[in-house]
Amino acid sequence: MLSYLSLVAGLIILVFAGDLLVRGAVGLAERLGIPPLVIGLTIVAFGTSAPELVISLEAASENAGGIAIGNVVGSNIANILLVLGAPSLIALIVCHGEGTKRSAIFMIAVTLLFLALSSDGLLSRLDGVVMLSLLVFFLYENYRTAKRHRRHAQEALEDEFSDVSEKSTLLLSTFLVIGLIGLPIGAHFTIFGATSIARDWGISETTIGLTVVAIGTSLPELVAALMAAWHRHGAVAIGNVIGSNIFNILAIMGTTSVFYPLPVPEDIFQPDAWLMLLTSLALLPFIFLRKPITRPVGMVMVVLYISYVGFALHS
C-alpha cells in the first residue's frame, strides 16, 4: 500500500512542479532576453535530470551498476520517444530554432562517445573526467549563445523591463526554484513506489533500470514537455529533451563513474544502447528539415516506446 501511495503522491507533485518550472523558466527567459531553447538546454534540462543523477549515484554506491547505466540509457530512449511523442498529441513540437542543429549534433556525438567508452565493459574514472570536461564545454557554449542573443536584443529588453516589475521577476524566479526542487522530490516518491512494485513482481535489476526507473526519472522531462506544449512553448520541449540527453550522459555518467567506476552490463548493448543512438538519430530529419513533430508522428513514437517497454519487461 505504501508503494502505491508513494507512486500517486509523486505523480501529483511532478505535475504541479513541472507547471511551475515551465512558467518560471519561460517567463525569465523572455525578461532576460535568453532564447527559450537555451533555457531548455540548460536550466530546465539540468533540473529535470536531477533524479537520474541521484538514482545513478545511489545505485552505483550499492554496487547496482545495471540500474545506474540502465537508468541513463532507458531515460534517453524515453526522452525522445515518450517525452517528445506525448506532448505532440497536445500541440506541434517545433524542432527548429537558434542552436538546435548544433545541439542535436552534439547530442549524437556524446551518445557515440558513451558507446565507445562503454565498449570495453567499464566506465572508468578517466572516462568520467572526459565526460565532465565535455559538459563544461557544452555549458560554456550555451553561455556564449545566451550572452550574444541578449546583446542583440538589448533595446527590446530595455522597453520590456520598463513594463515589468521586480515583483513579477521575483515571482517567476520563485516558480523556477520551486519547480526545480519539486521535480526531484516528486520523482523520488514515484521511483520508490514503482521500483518496489516492480521488485515484488520479480523484474531483474537491469530491466528495472531500463524501464521502471528510466520512466520514473524521465517523468520530470515528460511533465515539463507536456506543460511546455500546453503553453505553446515548443522550443523549451525540444531543448529540454536534447539537453537532458546530453546531461544524462556527460553529467550523470561522468559524475557517477568518477566516484564509482561502473562495470557495463553486456546485455545493455542488446539492443538498448543501440536503440538509444537510433532514436537520437531519428530526431535529425525533423531538425534539419525544419519539420515539426505532428500528432500522427507523436502517436507512432508513443506506440514504439510502449512496445519497447513491453519487450524489455518480457525478454
CATH number at residue 266: 1.20.1420.30
Residue 297 lies in a domain: yes
CB neighbour list of residue 220: distance below 8 Å, 6 or more residues apart: 14, 17, 18, 47, 48, 49, 50, 51, 183, 184, 186, 187
| Residue 26 within a domain | no
pLDDT at 254: 94
Q: Closest Cα partner for 137 from 277, 15, 251? A: 251
Q: Is the pLDDT of residue 161 over 70?
A: no
pLDDT in tens, 196-244: 776 777 766 667 767 777 777 677 778 778 877 777 776 677 888 898 8
Within a domain: residue 10?
no
Distance CA 256, CA 210 (A): 17
Residue 263 resides in a domain: yes
Q: Does the pLDDT value for residue 253 go beyond 50?
A: yes
Note the pLDDT of residue 162: 39
pLDDT, one tens digit per residue, over 180-201 is 788 778 767 876 776 677 677 7
**Given a cut of 90, is residue 177 above it in pLDDT?**
no
Q: Which range among 16-20, 51-55, 132-136 has the greatest average pLDDT?
A: 132-136
170 in a domain, yes or no? no
Residue 112 has pLDDT above 60, yes or no: yes
- Name the residue range of residue 72's domain: 36-150+202-314
Q: Which three cell numbers stand for residue 117?
A: 567508452
Residue 218 covered by a domain:
yes
Are 153 and 33 in contact by the 8 Å Cβ rule? The answer is: yes
The whole-model pTM stands at 0.78
> Does the residue 12 lie in any domain?
no
Domain count, the chain: 1
Which amino acid is residue 172, in one-letter code?
Answer: L
Q: Confirm whether 178 is domain-assigned.
A: no
